[in-house]
Chains A and B, each alone.
Chain A
């Protein structure tokens, strides 16, 4: 009963415009002080330990930073060029290329809004010039941008892994096939719509352009190789006898892989692409070579652009972690009150099977996604549904992917979908116009959600074949 009051209070505070983090934190503190013997001092301690005690969450600032460096550099432009070279000649090619570019950028960044801003700001303008309607362009990017949290690396997956103690590496692998499937479904839908409505197609620019544009985008795309190779293993050399080149398995933790990715992204943006930092060409001039300005090897670390990017990454980390830290206090309340066990008991007594349970999870997340930032919602909902899922024999990795796909749909469902806001800003359209534009593709993602929910092998096959079968810990 008191718990119901707790949730009513949280939603009430959210609706009058209290920051999400404060709504979660204050409601939980009041509950703890009124109904338990926890002291306010230990709440403050858990706020501190939310960061200092969660090694897995440390990956978040690093992935955010890698993504910031990749967004400031002209990586998005190069990826879009490569995508257009590959599929631009199909009917509706530019729209299909937009989806492909979103998929590739999602593999460099862990967040959906970042993907929409980076790809959308270029592709929407280009599509309008090529003769597409603005609505169609916005609808495509708004939906394809949600792949940012499904295709690894993904901040939401890091949060899920941290909240339920499953492996981040497994979650990342599990997102690969569903991510490609969702992208493919969107692309096929666009192609069919383009055939029916006779949308423009671009020119086939030849294999030379594909190779050239691929070489341009390669440095950026290599980031995903570093992350995946670091986590799952990569070839390496040794000099202590035995074969010189050998397979070094799983050398980094995901957190370390994220830090290496961030440093790599800085290096590529500053010294290879030179879109930012001391070697960047001013006002459209060609970038300088390192030989012309050798001191850049030092000044690059302290350049205004570097400082700005570090600061932007830090600011985003702060707003996300403020919510997550307070959501962790709420999680503490819920586990203290044994709410997950009560709900599990009630659901099992009601004779709930796995299928009805998954529908309930879908509904909870779709509603919750209306109010909450995705990572905060995962921190709260994951511990509630995780024990039930285990009892019903649902694979924890599969559950994680279902939750992520639900978050994706929540991002483009009115009235408060995150991607709708971002797209309406980027495309300079009203919210209602974006909602209408996104609607046909929202249908595609719903079909995708049903497929992912009831065909677990799509999510579990890759992680199980690379890392061995999941050992479920109860």
Chain B
């Protein structure tokens, strides 16, 4: 039913990265929940609220999902339809697996280009030219590094950005390039993880990029109770 393959980190570095990814996902979700909860409590008890809380929560939500998509490709957690792939012969399944891996790579490349093009002006960097694939840098594009978030205060340790990208002008609020930076970072990670999965498919260690439903892990545990 599933890809018949489960990710197990083998080297110390892989274990560290795996732990980091899982902790980051847990931490971001925990922070979102607590921030929203604390804001409700503050409103009830003190009739006050943290003005930046909602914006930070939404940014964390975006970061959680974008960052997590790459993790999902690494451990084969993304949902798909396996009705056909389970019916066909093994060589055909392998061909379909390779084909869908190539399609995923195309998707990741497009998203990476789009993410860079969108983020770069906010960091006073040149976006790429070309409609489908990057053909070079567009040095004439105007930077928009002066755009700030709506409510989030500027933390002191990021003040170096003022000289680096904002021509010395000070930021009153956190510049937008900071939350948006997750777009190119996550897109690059996604591409990297899909390429890794593709290599595993080529080597025959796994045969697809999908699972058929969201509860596959939990079901395996529960199934143990109902074995004959």
Query: Within 8 Å CB of B36, what residues of A?
Result: 58, 62, 255-256, 259
Name A18's contact: one of B1, B103, B228 (CB within 8 Å).
B103
Name B83's contact: one of A65, A134, A415 (CB within 8 Å).
A415
Closest A residue to B22 by beta carbon equals A311
Mark contacts of B165-183 with chain A using CB atoms, 8 A cut-off: 1 yes-contact digit, 0 otherwise: 0000000000000011011
Which size bracket describes the interface of B in this complex?
35 or more
A295 at the interface (CB under 8 A from B): no
Return A6 CB to nearest CB of chain B, in Å.
15
Q: Which of A19-52 contact B (CB under 8 A)?
A: 19-23, 25-26, 29, 33, 39-45, 47-48, 50-52
Return A309 CB to nearest CB of chain B, in Å.
8
**A-side interface mostly:** helix
Whether B79 contacts A19 by the Cβ 8 Å rule is yes
Whether B29 contacts A313 by the Cβ 8 Å rule is yes
Q: Are A40 and B213 also in contact (CB < 8 A) when A263-B34, A322-B65 are?
A: no
Closest A residue to B99 by beta carbon equals A16
Return A452 CB to nearest CB of chain B, in Å.
25
Whether A44 contacts B114 by the Cβ 8 Å rule is yes
Of all A-B residue pairs in the complex, the 10 with the closest CB atoms, nearest first, are A44-B114, A318-B68, A425-B219, A121-B222, A41-B117, A259-B36, A40-B114, A310-B26, A51-B62, A314-B25
The number of residues on chain A lying at the interface, defined by a beta carbon within 8 Å of a beta carbon of chain B, is: 82
Bound CA span A132–B214, Å: 29
Mark contacts of B82-118 with chain A using CB atoms, 8 A cut-off: 1 yes-contact digit, 0 otherwise: 1111000000000011011001101100110111011
Query: Within 8 Å CB of B66, what residues of A?
Result: 47-48, 51
Closest B residue to A64 by beta carbon equals B29
Q: List 9 A-B contacts (CB under 8 A).
A: A14-B81, A26-B106, A52-B61, A62-B32, A116-B215, A307-B26, A319-B78, A426-B223, A427-B223
Q: Which of B194-223 contact A (CB under 8 A)?
A: 208-210, 212-216, 218-223
Whether B62 contacts A52 by the Cβ 8 Å rule is yes
Name A44's contact: one of B26, B54, B132, B183 (CB within 8 Å).
B183
Return B109 CB to nearest CB of chain A, in Å.
10
Whether B131 contacts A17 by the Cβ 8 Å rule is no
Return A310 CB to nearest CB of chain B, in Å.
4
Query: Within 8 Å CB of B25, what residues of A?
Result: 310-311, 314-315, 318
A179 at the interface (CB under 8 A from B): no
Q: Are A259 and B183 also in contact (CB < 8 A) when A314-B64, A315-B68, A422-B215 are?
A: no
A113 at the interface (CB under 8 A from B): yes
Whether B40 contacts A252 by the Cβ 8 Å rule is yes
Whether A425 contacts B1 by the Cβ 8 Å rule is yes
Whether A307 contacts B114 by the Cβ 8 Å rule is no
Whether A40 contacts B131 by the Cβ 8 Å rule is yes
Whether B62 contacts A44 by the Cβ 8 Å rule is no
Chain B residues proximal to chain A, CB less than 8 Å: 1, 22-23, 25-30, 32-34, 36-37, 39-40, 44, 54, 57-59, 61-62, 64-66, 68-69, 71-72, 77-85, 96-97, 99-100, 103-104, 106-107, 110-111, 113-115, 117-118, 127, 131-132, 179-180, 182-183, 187, 208-210, 212-216, 218-223, 225-228
Return B87 CB to nearest CB of chain A, in Å.
10
Query: Within 8 Å CB of A418, what residues of B?
Result: 213
Bound CA span A71–B39, Å: 26
Query: Within 8 Å CB of B65, what residues of A?
Result: 50-51, 317-318, 321-322, 325
Whether A61 contacts B29 by the Cβ 8 Å rule is yes
Whether B212 contacts A421 by the Cβ 8 Å rule is yes
Bound CA span A250–B91, Å: 58
Return B92 CB to nearest CB of chain A, in Å.
10
Q: Are A259 and B37 also in contact (CB < 8 A) when A13-B100, A19-B80, A61-B29 are?
A: yes
Bound CA span A84–B111, Å: 52
Whether A428 contacts B226 by the Cβ 8 Å rule is yes
Whether B80 contacts A311 by the Cβ 8 Å rule is no
